[in-house]
Amino acid sequence: MLSRFSVIFRAQPLLTLATLLNIGLLPIALIGLAFDPRTVLAAPAWAKVTKFAASVIIYGVTLIPILMHLTRRPRAARIISDIVGAMLLLEIALIVLQTLRGTPSHFNYATPFDAVVFTTMGIGISTLWIASLVAALLLLQEKFLTRTTAWGTRLGMMISIIGMALAFFMTSPNTTQITALQGGQVLEQLGAHNVNALVDGQTRMIPLLGWNLDGGDLRVAHFIGLHGLQAIPLLAWALQRMRPSPLRDEDRAVLVAVGAAAYLGVTLVTLWQALRDESIAAPSTVTLAVLGVLAGAAAIATIAMIVIARRRIHFIPA
């Protein structure tokens, strides 16, 4: 166990360090969540640290073994890992700093210092996104034990990159903020999680997550997309352990692609829902209909693949 950890740490020191530090930070954030009475934009002051620490842990634990697959380009894998690790450390450090100061870490232009903090975070995440994109492209060149594993890993990484990119929808001034600026109002926040909100935190929210219950929230699609990195490889893993099964490796790979397409579809539908200022808690008939079509298409494709696999077995010559 220790020798395996030593190999991982030597191959990916900064990403491993970022993951370990956030494992240590998470209980501290939970203590702050429980005992610090302060709020930031109507949310508990330590909520963002808690969410980001948990997210970094999940991301790091998933990405480390994925990058270990880049055996053809070990130097590139090390550089990507170090860049991602450094940017995650920078991001969480700035979030903790702003939490200790009792001020928002995101979209905050209240002072020149706050603006520098948020701008630095934006540069860091953009750098992380580029490094992740390079990793996804390199994964296309790598050999895996099975096609199912290969496409589960590749498609999960691609969907995660798309989900990460959706965060950029939050950073520009929205319609309400632009109107306020045109009216001569001075704003301390530019950009928001909640669509058309002047400032986040002025609506009913889902506890801890902070998602808007009264209108569109761009974090929903961002969250779902990011976790494609876990969901799609997990689907591939589950398909490979189905016993007995008529499915060949190539059949399972097709089903992984179907699952990935459906997952990406749900991500984009929740983005479309948010941009229409519709709450995740109150989907319209149109939204439900589109999700129903997605689910139906995925179900039909899955059933068709299983039927084809079963017929193939029956028609094998004796």
As a whole number, mean pLDDT of residues 53-57 equals 95
pTM: 0.91
* DSSP code at position 44: E
Cis peptide bond N-terminal to 65, omega within 30: no
As a whole number, mean pLDDT of residues 282-287 equals 94
The residue ranges of every structural domain in the chain are: 1-143, 173-318
- For CA atoms 69, 75, 77, 82, the dihedral sign is positive
Residue 210: is its pLDDT beyond 90? no
Contact 164/226 with Cβ under 8 angstroms?
yes
Reduced to 3 states (helix: H, G, I; strand: E, B; else coil), residue 318 is: coil
State residue 143's pLDDT score: 86
In the chain, where does DSSP find H-type helix?
2-11, 13-35, 47-67, 74-101, 112-139, 147-165, 175-182, 219-226, 228-240, 249-275, 285-314
Q: Which comes out higher in pLDDT, residue 207 or 2? A: 207
As a whole number, mean pLDDT of residues 149-159 equals 95
As a whole number of angstroms, the distance between CA 132 and CA 34 comes to 34
Q: What tens digit of pLDDT does each residue of 121-152 get?
A: 999 999 999 999 999 999 998 888 899 999 99
Tell me yes or no: is domain 1-143 CATH 1.20.120. yes
State residue 214's pLDDT score: 84
What values do phi and psi take at 231, rounded to 5? -65, -45
Residue 3: is its pLDDT beyond 80? no
Q: What tens digit of pLDDT does each residue of 163-205 get?
A: 999 998 898 888 888 999 889 888 889 888 888 888 877 777 7
Contact 11/171 with Cβ under 8 angstroms?
no
